[in-house]
Amino acid sequence: MEGIHLKRNFLTGAIAMVAAMLAGCASPPPAPLVKPATPSAWVADSATGGGRGGGAFFFVAAADGKTIEMNNLRASLTASSGRGADLQVRSVARYLPAGKTTLKLAGRYAHAAPIQSLFSSAASYSVDGTIEAELRDDARYRVVGILDAFKREIWLEDEASGAIVGQKVVALADKATANPADGLFTCCNLRYDGDWISDANWATLPIIPAGSRIQVKDYASNRASVLIEGRPMRIGLDYGREQESVQKYVARIAVKEDPRQKLTTYVKPVRDAILAGKVTIGMSKEQVIMSLGFPRADKTRSIEAAEWTYWTLDGDEYVLLWGPDQALKSVDAARKIRLLVVAGE
């Protein structure tokens, strides 16, 4: 009990915050962040954006069940008061006790003026989750994440190595805002660049999660216009034009059954790999497709083939090798590519 009280007192009295202006210079300098005498780790919030477009904020909401009142979202909204639509982003950090800890992480999208949120779909973007972390004395960590129309993730990152500490929290997009006209879902994770979704499925691009609502609007030469979660996008054949029509390709992508229902039946390592757009050895072909999408038809002529070839956007190739039991046997790729596509590497 004494240890618990000490930890609570630490969080109550020893957490220090520092707000640093990222744009402009009208605020007085922040008080220095002083490390307590007890073992502790520096943990900072982070943000992207700012100005009239608003920004995404990723912060520690609670530590070991105790709410952390000051975070970068609150500091930024306070700094933006009276500035109209101009969001002033502030950074906030604090020291937390070293050792095993439970952290509640939160991600929010915000605008300086409340009225902006009424006309912004991004205002509904959010992600919350609790992680278990082992914080090292004198180490520095940062809460980072992604908030957009398709991907909502948050995690704690070691500032020195970039490694994820604990587990990544992943939230799917809100289906209530989707256009259900066709009653169709994306079969698998799709990689996108702007509004373009290529049949290449380059591993290094951001992900549209499997199970996103998709509505097919019309077709043109080697491409289709679609709505995904209400967002206009284009799906097209950059490579497999001689092997199949765009109509056939889109029919493989847009399916009637929500794949997330099947996703919940998979064991946790497989489920986590799919949510991250990665693979694990032993996956079935169905599971790999849900995670990576279909391989390019010009290089992998059939999903019955013993090898499937994929690429990164930089042109790095990686090959999936299948065993006689139709389970993933190995991934032939350079070490740096394996780190991107193989879970647990």
Each residue's pLDDT tens digit, 68-103: 999 999 999 999 998 898 999 999 999 999 999 999
Average pLDDT value for residue range 55-75: 95
**What is the residue whose two structure tokens read 């986590």?**
272
Least confident range of 20-34, 165-179, 255-269, 299-313: 20-34
pLDDT band at 14 (very low <50, low <70, confident <90, very high): very low
Tokens standing for residue 183: 């009653």
Mean pLDDT of 11-16: 42
Confidence (pLDDT) at 118:
74
User: Using the 8-state DSSP alphabet, how is residue 124 labeled?
Assistant: G
Residue 177 has pLDDT above 70, yes or no: no
Using the predicted structure, report yes or no on whether residue 46 has a pLDDT greater than 60: yes
115 or 218, greater pLDDT: 218
Mean pLDDT score, 294-302? 94
Average pLDDT, whole number, for the chain? 87
Which band of pLDDT confidence, cut at 50, 70 and 90, is reported for residue 176?
very low
Tell me which of 46 and 147 has the higher pLDDT: 46
220 backbone dihedrals φ, ψ, rounded to 5° = -135, -170
pLDDT for 122-162, tens place per residue? Answer: 777 899 999 999 999 999 999 999 887 777 889 999 999 88
For the cut 80, the answer to whether the pLDDT of residue 9 exceeds it is: no
In 3D space, the residue among 212, 183, 178 whose CA is nearest the CA of residue 197 turns out to be: 212
DSSP 257-324: S-HHHHHTTS-HHHHHHHHTT-B-TT-BHHHHHHHH-PPPTTT---TTSSEEEEE-TT--EEEEEE-T
User: In the chain, where are the structural domains located?
Assistant: 2-171, 175-259, 266-341
Confidence bin at 181 (pLDDT 50/70/90) = very low
pLDDT reported for residue 170:
84
Q: Which residue has the higher pLDDT, 19 or 207?
A: 207
Element (H, E) at 341: helix 335-341
Band of residue 25 on the pLDDT scale cut at 50, 70, 90:
very low
Phi, psi of 76 (to 5 degrees): -70, -40
Global pTM exceeds 0.85? no
Q: What mean pLDDT is predicted for residues 261-271?
A: 93
Q: Which CATH architecture has domain 266-341?
A: 2-Layer Sandwich (3.30)
